[in-house]
Amino acid sequence: MAVDLDAISKSLRNFVRSHNAEFQKLTGRQSQLLEVGAFLTAAKHYEWIGYDVKLHNPRRGQIRVKLGTRGHPWNFSRFEIWGDGRRFEIHTNLPVRDAAETPGARYVVDVAVARSNRIPTSTPGHGQPGFEALANDHLITFVEAKSLVIYPMLIAQFIGIVHELKPAFLHERPADDFIEAGHFYPSLVSLGYLHGTCRNIVRGFPARQIHIGIVPEFDEAISRLASGPGDSPLQSARATGVEEVIVF
């Protein structure tokens, strides 16, 4: 049956116009929401594998998520996670020194899992050293969030980020302690789907000793998380084994 595209298109145009304010907001907050989701998911990952998790520095019952490069980490909420004698923190948009500790070089990662007590929890006092970036050794793993379809070049870009921050994940088996602790691999999460050829790229990671996570359609992953305990969308060697990779 012929579809009256013109009539439907006019109807949709009127719908968009009548909901213009909401569509404006939709555009403006997509990236922020993805980073919020990544932060909460990282905390849930550890809770589900048996760690205790505590939210620090809410303000009047509100989680405050740092976006972008501005602002000090102590002014935003963080998660403290501990268990089995291990203790870590999860921060948002944390500046981190590169793997070569190049003077002055730092990257801001969307979600950082760091060794505990390496980041000030309040403004450094007079005479105390200021905080510019987390030392690279104190970064355990991280998440980058992109509200884009995962095309091959986006994966290549993420591999470049991992090369700058944690290159060992690109050519070595993760350390035993990393595996036993249940940490997730450096991960790229996206609202978009995984473009066709990307599945083949991801399947090839174990043979190349590349240990990173690629998580498309992250909104569905958050939806599953919020409905109850299950599998974390963030891949860890403890869950899947070092030689395996999850291909969504």
Partner 1 sequence: MGYMPLPASLTKFSSQLPYGLRVDLEGYVNSVAAAQSEIYAESRVGLDAIPTDEFLFVAAVWHLWTHVDSQRWIVSNSLRLADEFGAGSIQAGAVRLSSGSGDVEGLRRLHNDFRRWLYRNDLEFVIGAQNVGALLSRLTERDGDGG
For residue 109, is it left (φ>0), alpha (ψ between -120 and 50) or beta? Answer: beta
13 lies in the site for partner 1, by CB under 8 A:
yes
Choose, by CB under 8 A, the member of 48, 49, 64, 118 that binds partner 1. 64
Nearer to partner 1, 56 or 171 (CB): 56
Least Å from the CB of residue 61 to partner 1: 5
The nearest distance, CB 5 to partner 1, in angstroms, is 4
15 binds partner 1 (CB under 8 A): yes
Contact 28, 139 (CB under 8 A): no
Region near partner 1 per CB under 8 A, out of 9-17, 105-113, 157-165, 167-175: 9-17
> 134 - beta bridge partners?
96
Dist CA 53 CA 33 (whole Å): 21
Residue 50 is a binding residue for partner 1 (CB under 8 A): no
Among positions 49, 63, 170, 247, the unique one binding partner 1 when judged by CB under 8 A: 63
CB 38 within 8 A of CB 189: yes
Q: Of 180, 219, 243, 244, which lies in the binding site for partner 1, with binding defined by CB under 8 A?
A: 219
Q: How far is CA 53 from CA 24, 83, 189, 220, in A?
A: 36, 9, 22, 23
Q: In this complex, which beta carbon is closest to partner 1, that of residue 65 or of residue 210?
A: 65
Using CA atoms, how far residue 91 sits from 73, 150, 193, in Å, is 7, 24, 26
User: What is the footprint of partner 1 within residues 65-104 (CB under 8 A)?
Assistant: 65, 67-68, 77, 79
CB neighbours of 165 closer than 8 A, spacing ≥ 6? 96, 98, 99, 107, 109, 136, 139, 142, 186
C-alpha 138/C-alpha 112 separation (Å) is 10
Give the separation between CA 185 and CA 211, rounded to whole angstroms. Answer: 6
Q: At 46, phi and psi to the nearest 5?
A: -70, -35
Q: Kindly state whether residue 52 participates in binding partner 1, applying the rule CB under 8 A.
A: no
The answer to whether 5 contacts partner 1 (rule: CB under 8 A) is yes
* Nearest distance in Å: CB 190, partner 1: 11
Q: Residues 161 to 180: which contact partner 1 by CB under 8 A?
A: none
Does 223 sit near partner 1 (CB under 8 A)?
A: yes
Name the token pair of 94. 């944390």
> Does 143 participate in binding partner 1 (rule CB under 8 A)?
no
Closest contact distance (angstroms) between CB of 230 and partner 1 is 13
| Contacting residues toward partner 1, per CB under 8 A | 1, 3, 5-6, 8-13, 15-17, 19-30, 32-37, 40-41, 43-44, 53, 55, 58-59, 61-65, 67-68, 77, 79, 149, 191, 193, 217-220, 222-223, 225-226
